[in-house]
Amino acid sequence: MVLLNLALLLEPRLNVFVVDTDLLFPETYALIDRVERKYGITVQRVHPAQSVAEQNATHGDALWKSDPDACCDLRKVAPLRDYLRGFDAWMTALRRDQSGTRIEIPVRAWDESTQVVKIAPLANWTEDDVWSYVRENDVPVNTLHYDGYPSIGCTHCTRRVAAGEHARAGRWSGFDKVECGIHVA
């Protein structure tokens, strides 16, 4: 949300989108609505090729339980890759302090998966920097952040984080998985 706020200050007609897996939390959908009202924009929702019911019919019920990598590929990675065709670049709010897998992310790099330049303007920001900016600039955030969810994804693959756990411990609990695949080279 900080990246969106900063980017819209520079380019109010920015193309803004969200990969909508159709499995997001109600609080996430409410945030999208608040963002559209606050900034006077339309957030384009990028959906997977298959509905959840179609995915269940093709791959079995609750693919996220049996093969979360495949589920993320179908519901997140492929839709993003398809959507970004025709664009030269996209911006992401990745930060180096978010996890060990992100510690060396470049601010600007060629993204093989999407075949566009991937820009991470907040790469050097800290979590404290983000929350300071949110407070100082009245940036809307997902209310789940105040309820034990420092990292938010799909409903079936995200849980509250217990005291002392890493911020991304609530993602894909019980699996040896730390990224959905969008930010993996």
Q: Exactly one of 71, 154, 157, 180 is catalytic; name it.
A: 180
**CB 135 within 8 Å of CB 142:** no
Q: pLDDT digits over 36-53, tens only?
A: 999 999 999 999 999 999
Q: Judge whether 154 counts as a catalytic residue.
A: no
Does any domain span residue 71?
yes
Average pLDDT over residues 60-85: 94
Does any domain span residue 163?
no
Give 41-103 as a 3 state SS string.
Answer: CCCEEECCCCCHHHHHHHHCCCHHHHCHHHHHHHHHHHHHHHHCCCCCEEECCCCHHHCHHHC
Does any domain span residue 86?
yes
pLDDT at 97: 87
Does any domain span residue 176?
no
Q: What SS3 state is found at 109?
A: strand
Average pLDDT over residues 124-130: 95
Q: What is the mean pLDDT of the chain?
A: 92
pTM, rounded to two decimals: 0.92
Does any domain span residue 141?
yes
Q: Which amino acid belongs to residue 83?
A: Y
Backbone angles phi, psi at 182, to 5 degrees: -65, -40
**CB 43 within 8 Å of CB 32:** yes
Range of the domain at 115: 2-157
Q: The domain spanning residue 70 has which CATH number?
A: 3.40.50.620
Does any domain span residue 111?
yes
Q: Which residues contact 48 (CB under 8 A, 6 or more apart)?
A: 21, 22, 55, 74, 75, 76, 78, 79
Average pLDDT over residues 83-104: 89
Convert 142-175 to b/e letters by CB count within 10 Å (16 or more is b).
Answer: bebbeeebbbbbbeebbbebeeeeeebbbbbeee
Does any domain span residue 77?
yes
Task: Tally the domains of the chain.
Answer: 1
